Structures are given as C-alpha cells and as structure tokens.
Structure 1
C-alpha cells in the first residue's frame, strides 16, 4: 500500500531527503521542475504556443521559475513569467531562481495587485502561486487574482497543487481557488484528490517522481493508503492441485424481489466468476426460472415471508441486500442473521433496514462488511456536508465496531477496523450504470467464501471490480454490470499469471 502523506509530512520528506541524500534544496527544486516539464511536454509538445507562468514568492513560485527556464531550453519562445508580489517575504530558493532568469530572454512582469493583470493572451497558464499547506480559503488579492485567471478560460497546469486547494482536510463548499485542467504533483497525490470536491479544483492529476526518500515516506504513520497492483498480486492466491469445490467455500446470497431479480442474478453471477466453490441464492419463488435459466451453476433457496436460515454457519460467506426490499419479514430475517454472531456482507436494502434499526447496527459481528453509497451511509450515520467528514465518520465507526466499511464512490474508501483507510484507484465513469454495486457485493462474497479476510476481500473486490471496468471502457462508452461480472475471472487470471 502506498502511504499518502499530509502536506506537513511531505515537507518533512523534503527536508530528510535534502539532509540525507545529500542534495541542496535548490537542486531538489530543479529536479522537481524537470519532472514537471517532462510530464508537461508529453501533453503540450507544440512549442509555438504561448505560456504564462504565475509564480508566488515561496518555493512553489521557485518551482515555477525553474520550470520557465527549462521550458525555454526546450524550445518555448513565447513565454512570460508573472511574479505575484503580494507580500514582502520570499524564499531563498525563489530568490536564486529569480536571479537565474534575470539574464535570459524570458519576459518578467511584476504583479503588485490583481488589477495589474491585463490583456493576457497566453494559450496555456502554469499556476505556481501558492503550494500545499493552505488550510483556509483564499482572501484579498490572491482571491481576486484566482478569479481573474479563471475568467480567462485558458488551459491551466498547476504545480503540485492548484492555488487555493487544501491538500487534506475538509474542503469548503465554495471553492475560490484556481481551477486547473491538470495538476502535476510531486512524489505522491494529495489526499484530497480522492474526494469528489476536488473536481472543483482540477480535472485530472498526474504524479511525478522527484526521488524523495521512499523508505522514509513508507514508514510514516498515516491514515490513508493507496492500493497498488503489487498489493493485489501479493494477496491473490492461485488455485492448487487436488482442490475441489469445497476448498473454495459455500456462499449464500439473500437478494432479489418480485421486481428486482436482476440484482440477485448480478450478485450471484459475480460471486460465481470470483471463484466461490458453491453458491446458493436465497430468492423469491417467482425468481427460480430466471435463476435456473441464467445461472444453472447456482443453487436456489426459495424465500417466502417465513424463511429462516436454519444453519448459517454452514456457509463461509453470507451476503444480504441487493434488490431485497425492506418489508417486516425481511427485517426479521436480517435481525436473525445478525444475532447469530456471524460476519455478513450487508448491502443495498439491508442497509436501508439498518438505517431504520440503529440497534441492529450496534450488534454487527466483528469483520462484518457493509457497502454503502453516499445516501445509504448518511442514513446509517447521519447527514454529512462534506466527503472528508463522511470518511472520518466511517473511520471512527469501522474501528469502534470492528467492521469493514466500503464507502463507494469514484475512488472507493475501504475503512478498516484498524482505523486505516485504503483508497481504491481503479474504475471509471463508464461504470456509472445500475447494478455495479450488486456485482461488487457478489465479488466480496466470493472472496470471503474462499476464506480471504474481510479486509483482503474488500480490497481485492474493489480493485478487480474497477480493473475489469477499466478494461471494458477502453472500447465502450458505457459498461454494463453484467459485462463486468463476466470479466472478473479474466482479470483475476491476468493478475495471478503475472
């Protein structure tokens, strides 16, 4: 897992690298500028375009000045540097880089107030005004300047972080900073890039390596970790000779209703392709034809209002919720399963039942997995006005109750009983289709049935779910949940074969 650091921790990593490499801070700045420029030139290879670089007087501005020098070296002739002179203080490395461009052909313009910015004609803007570490909205001349730059409607590349954006912590509802097309950040993505509110500040981001001390970074105490492909490769276990269906567990999926059998079928299909040895679908009597026709490998346990799961311990994994409904009989069924003191995978309508029965939420057995989307989460734990607060609540409750909370979004947050949050990077907007959550629940259930731990099952399912969607999205505008479910086994095979 890749450790995600706060802005203060990243500054410590800078300082440790400078002290231990050893490398002068101005040389580390030059290395960062080179990494930025290499990334920038892959996107903007037309050197005839005009570029305006806005530089504050701190180290972020020093980066901007070094970038200006390197862009000129790489053929950008029509380039101007705008020095944002809104205070007396300036960093030593900024001063050194300012001296370095004094004798060059680069045109330098001093902005003493935002009103000085007039008739800017650049094709591209590079934002190097303020770096990370900001923890309050822009004010005064900085706010006016950001508004003026945004009004230009130019393509903006931000250096490390858009000016006005918080690297971590609760993001304000009304973002008033610079809106970047792309942020090129150093060594690690900012934690807040994974929160939906970041879309106000940057359309995309790319991380470039500047050779900071990785051993130091990975050893830092952190709350957030980014899942990587190599983590999945370590967790996944290949199938062994002489194994059989009993080796890979028996999964029970309690799902579907008269008008929502698709949810049950999708969950069972995903569980099947994830590798559970045996699968039983507890579904309404009216769904038997659909199940037998679509998934002949899956056994059926017909469900009526009196259904009980007589011996839940004979199943290695039990999931409940997709397309289930919320009637009184289903509430009783869920309650009986919870008080049986066996870990469950709880999704969709079963979460809605929990939202009305907080007493049941408090009785969840250790290592139960719940998989809410935003609205389901807020019904369980109260309304939240930011994703940062929502994830903090998930962290607290996962640790307090010893459960795994899979909080679904573009980047899904997997909150573990340890208090750590694993962020899943796979997936894409083509997957914004009904049924995707049902598939994810089936996959988690399939991994639990195969005796993976709750944490590993959630991590594997989220990553492979998104990876399958990424593969299909290469050639499709939208990805259907049923397509994704049948792709899962191929993704698992590809990972294990590496």
Structure 2
C-alpha cells in the first residue's frame, strides 16, 4: 500500500531527502521540474504552441521557473513567464531559479497588481502560483488572479496542486481556485485528489517520481493508503492441487424480490465467477425459473412467507440486500442474522433497513462489511456537507463498531476497524450502470467464503471489480454489470501469483 501523506508530511519528506540522500534543495527542485516537463511533453509535444507560466514567489513558483527554463531548452520559444509579485517574501530556491532564467532569452513580466493583467494570450497555461502549503482561502488579489486565469478558458496544467486547492481537509462547495485540465503532482497524489469535489479543480491528475526517500515515506503514520496491483497479488492465493468445492466455501446471497430478481442474479453470478466453491441464492419462489435458467451452477433456497432460514452456520459467507425490498419480514430476517452473530456483507435494501433500525447497527458482529453509496451512508449515519466529513465519519464508525465500511464512489474508500482508510484506484465512468453494486457484493461474499479475512476480501473485491471494468472499458462507452461479472475470473487469473 502506498501511504498518502499530508502536505506537512510531504514537506518533511522533502527535508529528510535533502538531508539524507544528500541532495541540495535546488537540485531536488530541478528533478521535480524535469519530471513535470517529461510528463507535460508527452501530452503537449507541439512546441509551436504558446505557453504562459504564472509563478508565485515561493517554492511552487520556483518549480515554475525551472519548468520554464526546461521548456525553453526543449523548443518552446513562444513562452512567457509572469511573476506574481503580490508578496515581499520569496524562497531562496525561487531566487536561484529566477537568476538562471535571467540568463536565457525567455520573456519575463512582473505583475504587481491585478490591473497589470492585460491582453494575456496563450494556447497553454501552467499554474505555479501557490503550492500545497495553502491552508486558508485565497485573498482578494490571488482570487482576482485566479478568476482572470479561469476566464481565459485555456488548457491549464497545475504544478503539484492547482492554486487555491487544499491538499487535505474539507473542500468548499464554493471552490474558487484554478480550474486545471491536468495536475502533475510530485511523488504522491494529494489526499483530496480522491474526493469527488476535486472535479471542480481538475479533470485529471498524474503523479511523477521526483526521487524522495520512499522508505521514509512508507514509514510515516498515515490514515490513507492507496491500493496497488502488487498488494492484490500478495493477498490472492493460488489454487492448490486436490482442492475441491468444499475448499472454497459456501456463500449465501439473500437477495431479490418479485420485481427485482435481476439484483439477485447479478450478485449470485459475481459470487460464482469470483470463486466461491458453492453459491446459494435465497430468493422468492417466483424467481426460481429465472435463477435455474440463467445460473445453473447456483443453488436456490426459496424464502417462505416468513423468510426463515434454518441453518446459518453452514455458510462461510452471508450477503444480504441486493433487490431485497424493505418489508417487515425482511427486517426480521436481517435482525435474526445480526442476533445470531453472523459476520455479514450488508448492501442496498438491507442498509436501508438498518437505517430504520439504528439499534441493530450497534449489534453488528465484528468484521461485518457495509457497502453503502453516498445516500445510503448518510441515511445510516446522518447527512454530511462534504466527502471529507463523510469519510471521517466512516473512519470513526468503522473503528467504533469494529466493522469494514466500503464507501463507494469513483475512488472507493475502504474504512477499516483500525481507523485506516484504503483507497481503491480502479474503476471508471463507463461502469456508471445499475447493478454494479450487486456485482461488488457478490465478489466480496465469494472471497469471504474462500476464507479470506473480511479486510482482505473487501480490498480484493473492490480492486478486482474496478479492474474488470477498466479492462472492459477500453474502446467502450458503457460497461454492463453482467460483463464485469464475466470478466472477474480473467482478472483474478492475471493477478494471482503461482507458488514457486
């Protein structure tokens, strides 16, 4: 897991690297500028385009000056640097890079006030005004500058972070910073890049390595970690000789209602394709024909009028909720499962039943997994004004209740009983289709049935679910839930490392 640090911790990592590699701070800034330019040139290889770089007088501006020098060397002759002189302070490295730039023919213009911003024309803009150290709203001068840049309506590349964007903490719904096309950030993405509100500040981001001490970074105490493919390969276990269906557990999917059998079929299909030895679907009698004709490998456990299930202990994993319906009978069924101290995977309508019965939330068994989307989460734990606050609540509730909360979004937050949050990076907008949550629930159930811990099952399921969608989305506008379920075993096969 790649630890995601706060802006203060990243500054400490800079200082540690400078002191221990050793490397001078100006040389580290040069490495950062080179990494930025390499990334920039992959996107913008037409050196005939005109570029304007706005540089503050701190280290972010120093990066911008170094970037200007490198772009000029790389053939960007139609380039201007605007130095934003709204403060008497300047960093030492800014001063050194300014002197270096003075030795070139690159055009520099000092802006002392907003009134001097006139007739700025460019194909591309690079924002190197204020970096990740910002911890308060922009003042009037900087806010006016940002408004001017945004009104230019040009493609903007931000250096490390868009000016006005907080690296961590609550993102204001009235964000008034630079609106970048792409942020090229150094060594680690900022924590706030993974929150939906970041879309107000950037369309995309890319991380470039600038040579900070990785061992030091990975030893830092961090609340947030980014899941990587290598982590998944380490968790997944290859199947051994003489394994049989009993080896890989029995999963029970309690789902579906008269008009919502699709949810039961999708979650059962995903469980089947994710490797559960046996999958049983507890469905209404009316859904038997659909199940038997669609998923011959899945066994049926018809729910009677009392929704009773005789023997919970025979199942190694129980998932409840997809398409279930909110009825008194289903409420009683969920209560029985909770009272029986079964660790559950709870999704969809079962979450909405829980929201009506907060007394049941406190009785959840340790390692129960909740899989809410935003609205379901707020029904459970109260309304939230921002995603930062929502994730903080999920962290606290997961720790307090000793459960796992999978808070679903483009980047899914897997909140653990330890208080840590693992961010899943896979998945894409092509997956914005009904039924995707049902697929995720089935995958989780399959991994729990196969005796993975609840934490590992949650991490594996989120990553593989999104990775299947990513593979399918290449060249496709839309990916359906059933396509994802069918893709899952292919992704597992690619990720699992054979025993040597």
TM-score w.r.t. the length of structure 2 is 0.99
Q: Residue in 2 aligned with 1:185?
A: 185
d(CA) in 2 for partners of 1:475, 1:146: 36
Q: State the secondary structure of the residue aligned to 2:300.
A: strand
Structure 1 residue 115: Cα displacement:
2.1
d(CA) in 2 for partners of 1:139, 1:209: 32
d(CA) in 2 for partners of 1:140, 1:238: 59
Structure 1 residue 335: Cα displacement:
0.2
Structure 1 residue 304: Cα displacement:
2.5
d(CA) in 1 for partners of 2:231, 2:299: 33
| Per-residue deviation, residues 121-175 of structure 1 (Å, max 9, x unmatched) | 1100000000002122212100000000000000000000000000000111100
Spell out structure 1 runs of 4+ moving beyond 6 A.
Answer: none
Alignment of 1:33-52 (within 5 A): 33-52=33-52
Q: Residue in 2 aligned with 1:455?
A: 455
Structure 1 residue 438: Cα displacement:
0.1
d(CA) in 2 for partners of 1:466, 1:47: 37
Structure 1 residue 305: Cα displacement:
2.6
Q: Is the 8 A contact 1:431 1:480 kept in 2?
A: yes
Structure 1 residue 342: Cα displacement:
1.3
Q: State the secondary structure of the residue aligned to 1:90.
A: coil
d(CA) in 2 for partners of 1:497, 1:103: 54
| Per-residue deviation, residues 203-262 of structure 1 (Å, max 9, x unmatched) | 000000000000000000000000000000000001110010000000000000000000
d(CA) in 1 for partners of 2:386, 2:39: 32
Q: Residue in 2 aligned with 1:30?
A: 30
Q: Residue in 1 aligned with 2:83?
A: 83
Q: Residue in 1 aligned with 2:494?
A: 494
d(CA) in 1 for partners of 2:475, 2:57: 46
Structure 1 residue 497: Cα displacement:
5.1
Q: State the secondary structure of the residue aligned to 1:125.
A: strand
Q: Residue in 2 aligned with 1:162?
A: 162
Q: Residue in 2 aligned with 1:140?
A: 140
d(CA) in 2 for partners of 1:442, 1:224: 26
d(CA) in 2 for partners of 1:270, 1:146: 47
Q: Residue in 1 aligned with 2:399?
A: 399
Q: Residue in 2 aligned with 1:364?
A: 364
5+ residue gaps in structure 2? none
Q: State the secondary structure of the residue aligned to 1:76.
A: coil
5+ residue gaps in structure 1? none
d(CA) in 2 for partners of 1:348, 1:326: 10
Q: State the secondary structure of the residue aligned to 1:237.
A: coil
Alignment of 1:89-168 (within 5 A): 89-168=89-168
Q: Residue in 1 aligned with 2:295?
A: 295
Q: State the secondary structure of the residue aligned to 1:181.
A: strand
Q: Is the 8 A contact 2:236 2:497 kept in 1?
A: no
Q: Residue in 2 aligned with 1:424?
A: 424
Structure 1 residue 190: Cα displacement:
0.3
| Equivalences, count | 498
d(CA) in 1 for partners of 2:128, 2:475: 37
Q: State the secondary structure of the residue aligned to 2:330.
A: helix
d(CA) in 1 for partners of 2:368, 2:115: 58
Q: Residue in 2 aligned with 1:346?
A: 346
Q: Is the 8 A contact 1:245 1:278 kept in 2?
A: yes
Structure 1 residue 339: Cα displacement:
0.4
CA RMSD of aligned residues (A): 0.7
d(CA) in 1 for partners of 2:397, 2:142: 39
Q: Residue in 1 aligned with 2:308?
A: 308
Structure 1 residue 103: Cα displacement:
2.3
Q: Residue in 1 aligned with 2:251?
A: 251
Q: State the secondary structure of the residue aligned to 2:283.
A: strand
d(CA) in 2 for partners of 1:133, 1:418: 28
Between 1:299-308 and 1:371-380, the stretch displaced more is 299-308
| Per-residue deviation, residues 5-49 of structure 1 (Å, max 9, x unmatched) | 000000000000000011100000000000000000000000000
Is 1:6–2:1 an aligned residue pair? no
| Per-residue deviation, residues 345-403 of structure 1 (Å, max 9, x unmatched) | 00000000000000001100000000000000000000001000000000000000100
Q: Is the 8 A contact 2:160 2:183 kept in 1?
A: yes
d(CA) in 1 for partners of 2:83, 2:257: 64
d(CA) in 2 for partners of 1:426, 1:49: 34
| Per-residue deviation, residues 291-347 of structure 1 (Å, max 9, x unmatched) | 000001000010133122222111000000000001000000000000001100000
Between 1:108-117 and 1:3-12, the stretch displaced more is 108-117
Q: Residue in 2 aligned with 1:227?
A: 227
Between 1:114-123 and 1:73-82, the stretch displaced more is 114-123
Q: State the secondary structure of the residue aligned to 1:302.
A: coil
Q: State the secondary structure of the residue aligned to 2:203.
A: strand
Q: Is the 8 A contact 2:237 2:497 kept in 1?
A: no
d(CA) in 2 for partners of 1:266, 1:380: 25
d(CA) in 2 for partners of 1:114, 1:272: 63
Structure 1 residue 197: Cα displacement:
0.3
Q: Residue in 1 aligned with 2:324?
A: 324
Q: Is the 8 A contact 1:137 1:172 kept in 2?
A: no
